[in-house]
Amino acid sequence: MAKKLESTLGNMLLSLVLLSMVMSAALAFVYLRTKGPIEAAAQQKEIAAIRQVLPEFDSDPNAAKTEQDGVIVYRLSKQNQPVGYAIKTYTEKGFGGHIELMAGFLPDSSIHQVTVLSHKETPGLGTKMSDLKFSNQFLGKNPEEYVLRVRKDGGQVDAITAATVSSRAYCDALQRAFDTFIIVNDSLYNE
């Protein structure tokens, strides 16, 4: 008959270390198996957002992709003619913190479309920034002339009722996208 291991501190620590090593190996295996599919799904979601915010294009979004201070810019074209820029932007000023948007700018600097990629805003209030009623007010507007601030702050944006912080954050992210658009666009002309 096998001898029962004594319940000592050393045996308990050895058991805990072995169990931790086995679980770490299992987590590493699962991570490595799912990393590729998760990245592919995220990339497909981003491509879908780009298609949503710009007119039809035939260029590869990753071919003319640049990053500027955490903002990702996709320069797209159709039959070698510029269609516009899809800009993945962000802000940390949301009521729930981090917000990500994908904004589409046409070559004339006007906003074609904006979509919310992620947020943690209050359900029923801040989440209304995804509603067309709010986002449609930006369509066709050129931020050089259209002040991207809520009316309370001297801008031209109608804030979401009871969600002014979320509205301000949306405007902040959109302004960051436009500022990056100007920098990237200027650098293209100076090449």
What is the reported pLDDT for 173? 97
Using an 8 Å Cβ cutoff, are 118 and 91 in contact? Answer: no
* pTM (2 d.p.): 0.79
| Helix residue ranges per DSSP H, the chain | 9-53, 132-135, 164-189
Please answer whether residues 85 and 184 qualify as being in contact, where contact means their C-beta atoms are separated by less than 8 angstroms.
yes
pLDDT of residue 1: 54
Locate tokens 């308990």: which residue? 12
Confidence category of residue 80, pLDDT binned at 50, 70, 90: very high
Average pLDDT, the chain: 90
Identity of residue 15: S
**What pLDDT band is residue 177 in, cutting at 50, 70 and 90?**
very high
pLDDT at res. 5 = 63
Sheet holding 81-94, edge to edge: 65-68, 71-78, 81-94, 97-105, 111-118
- Estimate to the nearest angstrom the gap between the alpha carbon of 114 and the chain centroid: 11
C-alpha dist (Å) from residue 158 to 10, 49, 70, 134, 138: 66, 24, 27, 8, 10
